[in-house]
Structure 1
Amino acid sequence: MSKATPFLMFQGNAEEAINFYISIFEDSEITSLTRGGTEGSVMKATFTINGQEFMCIDSDIKHDFTFTPSLSIFITCDTEKEIDELFEKLSDGGGVLMPIGDYGFSKKFGWVNDKFGVSWQLNLPS
């Protein structure tokens, strides 16, 4: 196996989500984007967040499921400013699963679902 890549399936808003993510995370970029299927939809895209590659698509098939917090993206932050800003931006229009706080296993931790339904755990180690 050469690598494992997180794969996100959206239903019509993949490009909006990608642009949101690369706007709030430093050292992030779209590395490829192919449109197809329904006009404006993403057939396949790759983007990076601080060197970590992600793949995503817009599904032309409607599903009765979406993202769930049982699988989340875990971000280790470097500063309090960074965790506070990411928490605010990612939770805007989404939902807070665990407010930022000291839960004993971390100096500062928060868990959110963003406005696209993707779950993020934000951690500031001790």
Structure 2
Amino acid sequence: METNTLSKHSLTRIECTHALMNVRDALEILSGKWKLPILIALSTGEMRFKQIGKEVSGITDKMLSKELKDLEINQLVTRTVLDTFPPTVIYKRTEHADSLSEVISALRSWGAFHRQKIIGPR
């Protein structure tokens, strides 16, 4: 049986195919410029739409709306409409989104390492 190497682990071709499929699924859900910053902003607690927009600087209302819908479809964010006038909408991370904490931490660490390697110490 033919094997491929991924990091320090030796994987069979089938294991490698499954690993790639899982990585592609994760990247498809989290891809883009805004999804991770939105999830990071919501890590401080629930927020209204405009609050998220202020925390994630540079995002347009249209893009924020689209990204929040995608995150809701993928069960990473809940949207609650409060019975107020005018209606108030609250967004909150789900437990499923909290399972990304280690991934986000690893990306933050690697990003700092990469920035230092490319740009140098600051």
Per the TM superposition, whether the score is higher than 0.5 is no
User: Is the strand fraction higher in 1 or 2?
Assistant: 1
Structure index of larger Rg? 2
Higher relative contact order (CA 8 A, sep 6+): 1
When normalised by structure 2's length, the TM-score is: 0.31
When normalised by structure 1's length, the TM-score is: 0.31
